[in-house]
Amino acid sequence: MDGNGRWAARRGLPRSMGHRKGAEVVKEITRAAGELGIKYLTLYAFSTENWNRSEDEVKTLMGLLRDYLQSDLKEVQQNNVRIRFIGEREMLDADIARKMAEIEADTLRNTGMTLCIALSYGSRQEIVNAVKKTAALVKEGDISLNDVDVKLFSDMLYTKDMPDPDLVIRTSGEQRISNYLLWQIAYAEFFFTDVLWPDFNKKLLEDIIKNFNMRERRYGKA
């Protein structure tokens, strides 16, 4: 979800206003995804690298996150949505981490769409953690080296028991992956749009899905 800062700058507004509008769009797109029958929606809200932004901006983003967890997600929960979070939780403030755990527990048995929010998320860090977990199992003798395969390794990632993404959309004209789900996107389709995240909407999402549906996915076969 990229482009909040530029959206604000173009209007002569502080970056925080772009983030505020961006959070509104998160609500709209989550609702739209449910209506369109999407089973899993993952949103890249804050990366490990985003911690390097100014103290002021991080504070703004964490404030918005608190509001989002407290009010916006309440509404989402009522729609039978299962909510989960991926990322390095130790980095987040304790009250935020506690709220996240609570929301996950409360929605665990919901049977509708899964909304996955990547927070303080970095894919390389996730992979390194998974390597450590796997190595520990081998070292303890719980598994043998030959047991390590794609399935086992996938289960060591934050995304265990979620399917790999079919489609990755990045807004704001940047055409890069920025440490996002590197393992999981092995066969994902990509869509890059110049639209800034605060201007993203349901109609655009529908158009992108139409485009996706016309693609032929071969998974390496001829």
Q: Which one of Mg ion, ligand IPE, none interacts with residue 193, CB within 5 to 8 A by kind?
A: none
Residue with tokens 């894919």: 123
Which listed range, 1-9, 116-124, 157-165, 213-221, lies at the site for ligand IPE (CB under 6 A)? 1-9
| Residue 3 found at the interface with ligand IPE (CB under 6 A) | yes
CA–CA distance, 101 with 48 (Å, rounded to integer): 19
| Residue 126 found at the interface with Mg ion (CB under 5 A) | no
Residue with tokens 């605060």: 198
| Among 26, 38, 61, 92, interactor with ligand IPE by CB under 6 A | 61
Cβ-contact 151, 76 below 8 angstroms: no
Q: Which one of ligand IPE, Mg ion, none interacts with residue 200, CB within 5 to 8 A by kind?
A: none
Q: Any catalytic annotation for residue 50?
A: yes
Where are the alpha helices (H) located in 93-190, listed in sequence order? 94-107, 123-140, 150-154
Angle, CA 62 vertex, CA 67 and CA 192 arms, to 5°: 95
| Residue 165 found at the interface with ligand IPE (CB under 6 A) | no
Residue 26's Cβ-side half-sphere holds a number of Cα atoms within 13 Å equal to 27
Cβ-contact 2, 171 below 8 angstroms: yes
Site for ligand IPE in 62-101 (CB under 6 A): none
CA–CA distance, 91 with 24 (Å, rounded to integer): 25
Q: Which one of ligand IPE, Mg ion, none interacts with residue 85, CB within 5 to 8 A by kind?
A: none
Q: Any catalytic annotation for residue 2?
A: yes
| Among 17, 33, 38, 46, interactor with ligand IPE by CB under 6 A | 46
Which tokens is 2 given? 């990229």
CA–CA distance, 89 with 100 (Å, rounded to integer): 9
Site for ligand IPE in 110-149 (CB under 6 A): none
Which listed range, 2-10, 62-70, 85-93, 193-201, lies at the site for Mg ion (CB under 5 A)? 2-10
Q: Which residues sit opposite 189 in a β-bridge?
A: 167
The residue sitting closest to ligand IPE, measured at its beta carbon, is 5
Q: How far is the CB of 2 from Mg ion (least distance, A)?
A: 4
Q: Which one of Mg ion, ligand IPE, none interacts with residue 61, CB within 5 to 8 A by kind?
A: ligand IPE
Binding region for Mg ion (CB under 5 A): 2
